[in-house]
Structure 1
Amino acid sequence: MTVEKLLAQVDEVKPNTYDENLKLTWLSELEGRIFDEIFLTHKHDLVDDGEGNLIEPTFAGYTEENEDAELLAPDRYCDLYRNYLFAMIDYSNGESDRYTNSMIMFNSSFNDYSNWYNRNHLPIQKPLRLF
């Protein structure tokens, strides 16, 4: 799923007055967490930097210029993004009960995705050191 499609879904399901840049900031925070806590703890392929050099992947966040970018989690786990943005909207609206419910749903979605990723990707192994 692309960033643009996700934001459109969130606005359709949970109408709000927050501008797109703020939602992109929230989404970038979550994607950075996924990148650091899940993706970088597992083996991954190097990426081409556009000049033929293979480099470690990085995540710099989302802006209006890269709304066509694909999210890290596959489509079947995109509810984690929606639930997170719903929670941030509820929090910003001062709706503590709704925020609590949204965060419970987000945490469940995040754990489901994390567990799936851990089952399907090899973790980075630290070298074995013998005394």
Structure 2
Amino acid sequence: MTIREVLARVDTIRPNAYTDGEKIAMLNTIEGRIYTDILEQAEGFDKEFLPFREGEEERELMVPVPFTDVYLYYLAAMIDFYNGDSGRYNDTMVLYNQAWEDYAAHYRERYKPKQTNLTGMIPRRWR
């Protein structure tokens, strides 16, 4: 899914007055979290996170279909939050949290986590 597709879908489900640039900044927040909290934790993951900019609307997002609702719910929730609609924000965040957990579980089932070497963390007197 591309940035343009996400922006178009969120504008359809949650009409708003925010610019594409403002929504792209919101997308950078969620894409950065996906990168650091999920993707980067896998063994062998070597892609670099490059924040989105206006003019890159054809760029692909990291999360594949059918898990792209994580983006839609996050943007919709942020629109609700900035509009001061706490009831809608809370409802949408429930959907977002479930979408996040679904994608995280899917990813972790398929990719081996990075191994941590704890040798350097053990004090000398215990070796």
The TM-score, its normalising length taken from structure 2, stands at 0.89
Structure 1 moving runs of 4+ over 6 Å: none
**Unaligned regions of 5+ residues in structure 2, if any?**
none
Q: Does 1:5 align with 2:17?
A: no
Q: Does 1:28 align with 2:18?
A: no
1:60 offset after TM fit, Å? 2.2
Give deviations 1:4-56, integer Å, cap 9, x for gaps.
1110111112111011111000000000000011111102354xxxxxxxxxx
Q: 1:1-131, aligned counterparts within 5 Å?
A: 1-46=1-46, 57-127=47-117, 129=119, 131=127
Alpha-carbon distance between aligned partners in 1 of 2:68 and 2:35, rounded to the nearest angstrom: 15
1:65 offset after TM fit, Å? 2.3
Tell me how many residue pairs correspond in the alignment: 121
The answer (yes or no) to whether the contact 2:77–2:93 under 8 Å persists in 1 is: yes
Q: CA RMSD in A?
A: 1.4
Larger Rg: 2
Partner AA of 1:89 in structure 2: I
**Unaligned regions of 5+ residues in structure 1, if any?**
47-56
Partner AA of 1:102 in structure 2: T
Alpha-carbon distance between aligned partners in 2 of 1:14 and 1:6, rounded to the nearest angstrom: 12
Partner AA of 2:3 in structure 1: V
Identity of aligned residues (%): 36
The TM-score, its normalising length taken from structure 1, stands at 0.87
